[in-house]
Amino acid sequence: MSSIVTDHGVVHYEVAGRGKPIILLHGWIGSWDHWVDTMICLESRFRGYALDFWGFGDSTKKLDSFHINDFVAMVDQFMERLGIDTAPIIGHSMGGTVALSLALAKPERAKQVIVVGSPIVGNSLNPFLQLAGHPQVAALLWRFPSVFRLFLRLYAPFVANASQRWYKRVVRDISATTEVSFFSSIRSLRHTDLRPRLPEIKVPTLGIYGLGDVIVSPYQSKLISQHVKRSHVAMMAGSGHFPMLDEPELFNQHLLDFLYQDSD
């Protein structure tokens, strides 16, 4: 277990591999280890740094806000502390939205951007996730955790083909999440709209989306292909919201092809 202290608290991260740095960012109510298999795939050519966002996993929980811009600042500070000037940034779901926002706010940080099932516009989120951004709804879910877990168990087959694996992870990750970080982060994501600024992204960008995604509309991919000049899109027919779990070999191939072909 590794960690650094930033201006706003501790950032936990894990490292694997050797070579050029690459940053991996997890999604909402996730943690760094959603990237374990991907890090193994990359380890012969890249040194992967998988972070826990503030409010999630083993990173600090004692903040007043957990907004997309807060996470952008976190990644920027992390890279500064570790002396990483620039690197490919991979983000799943909310993490991909952070990766795109980082490329806009700190363009020198992102060498390439890969987003996986990520919302470009917040209203592309499943209605349940949009509701979770209301403090009253979050408080209700926290008051009745057994009901929340039952809902997740029933919904799991629609989220990922590897439903039991996903369910065990999400229950564990929720236990490491606070009520404030739970609703504050998804509320911020709900109100995000990157469409007006997408043309400003100059680095090579890859969007990977599962056609069976019921969490984020897979047609967010069209916004990337239409508005990001140096963009590629891969649509995965056998995947839902977690292509790296549903079709790992194909996912890894898309990732490696992009990283090698579009690296400077």
pLDDT for residue 41? 94
C-beta neighbour count of 36 within 10 angstroms: 15
Residue 1 pLDDT exceeds 80: no
Residue 264 pLDDT exceeds 80: no
The domain spans of the chain are 2-261
Residue 2's contacts (CB-CB under 8 Å, 6 or more residues apart) are 12, 13, 14, 15
pLDDT for residue 152? 86
Average pLDDT over residues 212-241: 96
pLDDT for residue 262? 58
Bridge partners, residue 12, by sequence: 3
Average pLDDT over residues 128-150: 85
- CATH class, range 2-261: alpha beta
CA dist 54 → 9, 20, 25, 66, 212 (Å): 8, 25, 12, 7, 29
Distance CA 52, CA 31 (A): 5
Encode pLDDT of 73-96 as tens digits. 999 999 999 999 999 999 999 999
Longest dimension (CA), the chain: 51
Distance CA 13, CA 56 (A): 11
Confidence of residue 256 (pLDDT cuts 50, 70, 90): very high
Q: Are 205 and 151 in contact (CB under 8 A)?
A: no
C-beta neighbour count of 119 within 10 angstroms: 27
Residue 118 pLDDT exceeds 90: yes
Residue 22's contacts (CB-CB under 8 Å, 6 or more residues apart) are 42, 46, 47, 48, 49, 87, 88, 89, 90, 259
CA dist 132 → 30, 127, 154, 180 (Å): 15, 9, 17, 11
Confidence of residue 198 (pLDDT cuts 50, 70, 90): very high
Q: Looking at 69-73, 95-99, 129-133, 218-222, which range is the least confident one?
A: 129-133
Q: Are 102 and 117 in contact (CB under 8 A)?
A: no
Compare 78 and 138 and report the one with higher pLDDT. 78
State the pTM of this model.
0.95
Distance CA 259, CA 114 (A): 9
Residue 49 pLDDT exceeds 90: yes
Distance CA 238, CA 227 (A): 26
pLDDT for residue 263? 55
pLDDT for residue 147? 84
C-beta neighbour count of 43 within 10 angstroms: 15
Residue 6 pLDDT exceeds 90: no
